[in-house]
Amino acid sequence: MEADSSPVPSNLASTRSDPETQTRVATFKAGHKISGFEILQLLGSGGMGEVYRARDTRLMREVAIKVLAPGQDQRRFEQEAHAVAALKHPNIVAIYEYGNEDGFSFLVEEFVEGGSLEQLLRAGPLPLKECLRLAVEIACGLAAAHRAGIIHRDLKPGNIMLTPERHVRLVDFGLAKRAHSEDESLSLTTHGAIAGTAAYMSPEQAEGKRLDARSDIFSFGTVLYEMTTGRRPFRAETLNGVLAAVIHNEPSPIPAQRPGTPAELVRIIGRCMRKDPARRYQVIDDARIAVEDVDTTVETAPAVSATRGSRSLTVLAAVTGLLVGVLLTLTATFVVNRRTVANAGPKITRLTSDPGLSTDPAFSPDGKLVAYVSDRGAVASGALDLWVRQTNGGTPVQLTHDGLDNREPSFSPDSASIVFRSAHAGGGIFVVSALGGEPRRIAERGNKPRFSPDGEQVVYWTGRDVFLGSRDSQKIWLVPSGGGSPREISSGFAVARSPVWSPDGKKILFLGVKSMDADAYPEDAQLDWWVASLDGRSLTPLLINDLLKPLSIHLADPAVWTADNAILFTATLGDARNIWRIPIANDGTRFAGPPERLTVAGGVQAGLAWAASRLAFSVEEPDVDLWSFPADTDRGEPRGAMTQITKNTGVNLYPSVSLDGMRMILLSDRRGAFETWFKDFRTGKETPIFGSGGDLLPFLTPDGRTAMYSYYDDKVTSVYLMNINGDGSFAVPRKICADCLNPWNLSNDARVLLFSTNFQQHDIYSLDIESGRKTKVIDCDQPLLGRPRFSPDNRWIAFHQWHGSSMRVFVVPYDGTLKREDKWVPITDGKNIDYSPYWSPNGELLYFYSDRDGNLCVWAQRLDAQSKRPAGEPFAVEHFHSPLRSLQNMSMVQVGMSVTRDQIFLNAGAATGNIWMADYSYK
């Protein structure tokens, strides 16, 4: 928290550029008291809240107070408080208090009287000794953060405050994350402006990849470069240009801009700014020591003042109509490319500001209305209802009230009706008046319904919303918009999904796979975009992967075919999913240009809509943690509320817990790549298991003494066993298999491993660990067997199998010999998605995941003690109907469970997000 001699501190100046902020009335007037702090003046405000100068009436000192605006992201605000509170260092701004009063959350921080390094650099490069002294202090502050496991992610001159004595205070840890967090931040730019945040990013952050402390080291190098030369190392007229420079270009040589710069300093900056993180300094302390050793007597020529030009004081942070100042940047930020309009960037507006999840925007054809789904009106159920509002403002109108999820709306061409999918009345495709009323069903089940341009038909697809499934699991259908018999239009495809109408309504573009190689890793499947004529006379592959794969762009899902013949789509690059645009020829048979990224950020941008030169999309922040609830696990009866086990910002998967509930291993990407971690519940200590890093299922034996983990690299999986000692220390791991491609489960006595030899899992094998002998134990002619798991006595194996668009649970006796389908015991009826079975401790109950009530929840089936045949009907154990704790906020392959004597552990995702609009017609 900081100020300077100017009317508004430089790192708050970005809030002044927003017209809504300029006219906003301060929530608190001078003299108002929050807890023991008296408000003195408003320093700045933004869409996320306000910043005040205040007096601590108890200790009689000045402080700065951030007040979170109502309805904003409480979790991120708390995250900043916890992050900064953990960092007690003279070069990091101090946090004094965090609290909530009268419904307002607030954060009290140190008030820094001086200005920022950004202000100091406006006069040009710094004297060499001053440059090096400040660099050492910056590095010391970063080192303290890194030792606490925190990366700053937004290090730049505007976030480096200087006290009147010219000592460094690092500020704005609102973007800080525990190392290797999910979402990375960028800033918005307009024509002719340079995005401050982007100019200091590391290449991996610019590409949306997960970060570690080496990203801060790159940013440190860019700051040191500017302190030395007076110029930013990466400059361009547009944000995309800045990002491209960060990723691909080398900065101008320092000696050309400041002759006489010590060669040691040039080398230090160059090493900090290497594109490959592995070639930088690996810890910031090494860079600090190198800076301390620079000989300041060798600079013989005077510093050359760089031509700076006019630089805006504003840093347009976060795609938002309220353009949050960097002090208040408490949400993931992103940028929208402005090149669609020749002379102006888009006007960016935040359409929703809900604390939960608002997503799936859809425009009316004239762009004046936006429909979307939100849990804003469903506090109790957490269900997503359908809402509609004017894009230019106004109160949203709720169209559904059934307490069930409603998704993926789309307007009719006359804007009078909205088609959507719903779990209402057993689920299906529904149409409702845009003014409200009773929805009517026009088709059973389905995803992403879209009216044809003439409004006569609706196209949609059926199947589980995963990119890869078994044959006939995903199909595309046409149904009359007034209801009638659906007609399949995707025969001949193993996978067909995500249909998009051509502007003239004569063709449909879709994502499809003709066939899949059972031995292929899923990413290698021949996914392609196809264009089919409605009359069936033409079917053209567009070879999208040939274009995108060399660019490392994956999972391209088409969303809109615009009137000017471009396809808008979402795709994954690195660890981020963004929105892209690619031009297509008028006849729809080929692409007419390269792909262009429209949004740049970590995390997920989804729910794409386009109309009347307006782009809408949701920015979603998925978070996957481990939970547990007490239960009589032999009876399938919950005995208490859910408890959150992990609270880091990573993705936490596949808990495997000892029978007494005292030890657990899990998969987590909290440090970047997925690693297997060990947790001792007695001490609370969590430890990464050395040598892991694969993203495959770990397992802990019921006695908690043996862990199995695996590492997948270059299509080879190495499987390891490791004993865990009584004090929680690890024995030396031993490799038990070098070619067990897909390891599933270990017998409870740690003698036998179950695995598959390909990712489509036709068969399941056992490995006798002592002898190394491999035996096929489950065999069938159809693909996609999965999640085999030994019973507590190791005499049975439970597993699931895909059946078209459904999944079914089976058990089979195990004696080390082959069992074909005639020996399988069906546990579920194959009418739903029932998968990933887990045994109760007594072996007389099977838990599994099922979508039979419209949501993915935990169900169970009692078994006959001897035959293991079903005894009675399946029953629900725990429901997950809210997006705030859901099993559907992650991939199907990511769900996991562990059953102990008195608890059930599982991973569940929470999704929060809001909707934004970029208006390209704005000038």
| Residues known to be catalytic | 154
In the three-class reduction of DSSP (H, G, I as helix; E, B as strand; rest coil), residue 15 is classed as helix
Identify which of 1, 43, 14, 2 has the alpha carbon closest to the alpha carbon of residue 26.
Answer: 43
282, exposed or middle or buried, with CB in 10 Å at 0-12, 13-18, 19+? middle
In this structure, are residues 654 and 645 in contact, taking their beta carbons and an 8 Å threshold? no
∠ CA(429), CA(435), CA(437), 5° rounding?
60
**Axis-axis angle for helices 263-272, 213-229 (nearest 10):** 140
Which tokens go with 25?
């009335």
In the three-class reduction of DSSP (H, G, I as helix; E, B as strand; rest coil), residue 208 is classed as coil
Q: What is the DSSP letter of 528?
A: E
- CA 149 vs. chain centroid, Å, equals 20
Q: Are strands 637-638 and 406-411 parallel, antiparallel or unpaired?
A: unpaired
Q: Letter for the amino acid at 685?
A: K
Q: What is the DSSP letter of 277?
A: G
In this structure, are residues 152 and 176 in contact, taking their beta carbons and an 8 Å threshold? yes
Give me the sign of the Cα torsion angle 424, 427, 432, 434: positive
- CA 320 vs. chain centroid, Å, equals 19
148, exposed or middle or buried, with CB in 10 Å at 0-12, 13-18, 19+? middle
In the three-class reduction of DSSP (H, G, I as helix; E, B as strand; rest coil), residue 480 is classed as strand
In this structure, are residues 48 and 324 in contact, taking their beta carbons and an 8 Å threshold? yes
Q: Report the alpha-carbon distance of residue 454 to residue 476 in Å, rounded.
A: 19
CA torsion, ordered 74, 76, 78, 82, to nearest 10 deg? 180
In this structure, are residues 424 and 402 in contact, taking their beta carbons and an 8 Å threshold? yes
Task: Return the number of other C-beta atoms located less than 10 Å from residue 241's C-beta.
Answer: 17
State the first-to-last Cα distance of the chain, in angstroms, to the nearest integer: 35
User: DSSP string spanning 115-128?
Assistant: -BHHHHHTT-SPPH
